[in-house]
Amino acid sequence: MEEVSRRMFVKRASLGAVAVGALAATPLAWAETKSHASSPEPDLSGISGPVVAHVRDLGKGLVDVFVGTRLVTVTDRELAKSLTRIAAV
């Protein structure tokens, strides 16, 4: 059970990193767009090693995504809720 949850966590965290890539590229568009699907698909080939998400503030939807030597912070209440739901399983 624990192993499954961890896999799901990392998978979701990867989605968070994707979303942030879109945020950095087009912040206004992101602010208006809540759906990940409507953002352009970024190039993932440069991502290697673990991608870890940390729900820093569930209420504010603050999610820190750690990848390589970078920290990307996303404000996304739905993503924060999704990750927390996984933790609650």
In the complex, the residues that contact another protein under the rule CB under 8 A are 49-52, 54, 66-71
Which of residues 10 and 29 has its CB atom nearest to another protein in the complex?
10
Which of residues 27 and 68 has its CB atom nearest to another protein in the complex?
68
Report in angstroms how near the CB of residue 57 gets to another protein at its nearest: 17
State how beta strands 51-57 and 62-67 pair.
Answer: antiparallel
Report in angstroms how near the CB of residue 86 gets to another protein at its nearest: 17
Dist CA 34 CA 14 (whole Å): 17
Distances (CA, A) of 37 to 16, 42, 71: 12, 11, 23
CB-neighbour burial class of residue 67 (10 A; exposed 0-12, middle 13-18, buried 19+)? buried
Report in angstroms how near the CB of residue 45 gets to another protein at its nearest: 18
Which of residues 68 and 78 has its CB atom nearest to another protein in the complex?
68
